[in-house]
Amino acid sequence: MRAFVLAACAAVVSPALPAAAPTPSATLQQQLQALEARVAALEANDRRLREQADAANAAAKAAQDELAALKASTAAAVAAEPVPAASPAAVSGSSANAFNPAISVILNGSYSSHSKNPDDYVRAGFPVVGEGGPSPRGFSLGESELSLAANIDEKFYGQLTLSAESENGEDHVGVEEAFVDTTALPQGFNLRLGRFFSDIGYLNSHHTHTDNFFDRPLPYQAFLGSQYGDDGAQLRWLAPTDFYLEFGSEIFRGANFPSGGAEHSGAGVKTLFAHAGGDVGTENSWLAGVSMLKSSAKGADDGFSGDSTLYIADATWKWAPQGNFKDGGVTVRGEYFSDHRDGTWNPPVDDGTPLAWRGARRGAYLEGVYRFNRTWDLGYRVDKLWADRHGPFASDFDPYRNTLELSWHNSEFSLLRLQFSRDEPDANTTDNALTLQYQVSLGAHGAHKF
Helix (H) or strand (E) segment spanning residue 140? strand 138-141
Backbone angles phi and psi of 427, in degrees to 5? -60, -30
Residues whose CB falls within 8 Å of the CB of residue 444, separated by 6 or more in sequence, listed in order: 102, 103, 104, 149
Beta strands in 302-354 (DSSP E): 304-319, 329-345
Query: Which listed range, 133-141, 185-193, 254-262, 395-403, lies at the site for another protein (CB under 8 A)?
Result: 185-193
Backbone angles phi and psi of 302, in degrees to 5? -95, 10
Shortest gap between Cβ of 328 and another protein (angstroms)? 9
Binding of another protein by 448 (CB under 8 A):
yes
Binding of another protein by 73 (CB under 8 A):
no
Binding of another protein by 173 (CB under 8 A):
no
Are 422 and 401 within 8 A, CB to CB? yes
Shortest gap between Cβ of 135 and another protein (angstroms)? 29
CA atoms within 13 A on the CB side of 108: 21
Residues whose CB falls within 8 Å of the CB of residue 231, separated by 6 or more in sequence, listed in order: 194, 195, 252, 253, 255
CA distance 140 to 408: 20
Shortest gap between Cβ of 201 and another protein (angstroms)? 15
Binding of another protein by 9 (CB under 8 A):
no
Instruction: Identify the three-state secondary structure at position 444.
Output: coil
User: Contact with another protein (CB under 8 A): which of 318, 341, 361, 384?
Assistant: 318
User: Contact with another protein (CB under 8 A): which of 106, 129, 218, 287?
Assistant: 287
Binding of another protein by 172 (CB under 8 A):
no
CA distance 52 to 213: 94
Query: Which listed range, 31-39, 57-65, 217-225, 320-328, lies at the site for another protein (CB under 8 A)?
Result: 320-328
Partners of residue 370 on adjacent β-strands: 330, 378
Partners of residue 278 on adjacent β-strands: 286
DSSP state at residue 445: -
**Total number of residues binding another protein (CB under 8 A)?**
57
Backbone angles phi and psi of 16, in degrees to 5? -70, -25
CA distance 407 to 405: 7
Shortest gap between Cβ of 71 and another protein (angstroms)? 21
Binding of another protein by 186 (CB under 8 A):
yes
Shortest gap between Cβ of 215 and another protein (angstroms)? 23
Binding of another protein by 154 (CB under 8 A):
yes
Are 316 and 330 within 8 A, CB to CB? no
Residues whose CB falls within 8 Å of the CB of residue 145, separated by 6 or more in sequence, listed in order: 105, 106, 108, 161, 162, 163, 164, 176, 207, 209
Shortest gap between Cβ of 443 and another protein (angstroms)? 9
User: Contact with another protein (CB under 8 A): which of 184, 355, 378, 434?
Assistant: 184
Site residues for another protein, 221-280, by CB under 8 A, read 236-238, 240-245, 275-279
Shortest gap between Cβ of 189 and another protein (angstroms)? 6
Site residues for another protein, 327-366, by CB under 8 A, read 327
Buried b (16+ CB within 10 A) or exposed e, 28-59: eeeeeeeeeeeeeeeeeeeeeeeeeeeeeeee
User: Contact with another protein (CB under 8 A): which of 4, 77, 81, 97?
Assistant: 81
Report which of 338, 404, 419 is spatially closest to residue 367, judged by C-alpha positions.
404
Buried b (16+ CB within 10 A) or exposed e, 398-407: bbbbebebeb
Taking the least distance from each CB to another protein, the nearer of 325 and 380 is: 325
Shortest gap between Cβ of 145 and another protein (angstroms)? 17
Name the CA dihedral angle for 35, 37, 38, 39, rounded to a multiple of 10 degrees: 90
Build a one-symbol-per-residue string for 371-410: x at contacts with another protein by CB under 8 A, - elsewhere.
Answer: --xxx-----------------------------------
Report which of 312, 314, 247, 311 is spatially closest to residue 287, judged by C-alpha positions.
314
Binding of another protein by 209 (CB under 8 A):
no
Taking the least distance from each CB to another protein, the nearer of 172 and 449 is: 449
User: Contact with another protein (CB under 8 A): which of 115, 322, 430, 432?
Assistant: 322
Binding of another protein by 158 (CB under 8 A):
no
User: Contact with another protein (CB under 8 A): which of 29, 31, 282, 430?
Assistant: 282
Query: Which listed range, 18-26, 84-92, 139-147, 388-396, lies at the site for another protein (CB under 8 A)?
Result: 84-92
Taking the least distance from each CB to another protein, the nearer of 81 and 396 is: 81
Task: Enumerate binding residues for another protein (CB under 8 A).
Answer: 80-86, 151, 154, 157, 181, 183-190, 236-238, 240-245, 275-279, 282, 285-287, 318, 322-327, 373-375, 411-413, 442, 445-450
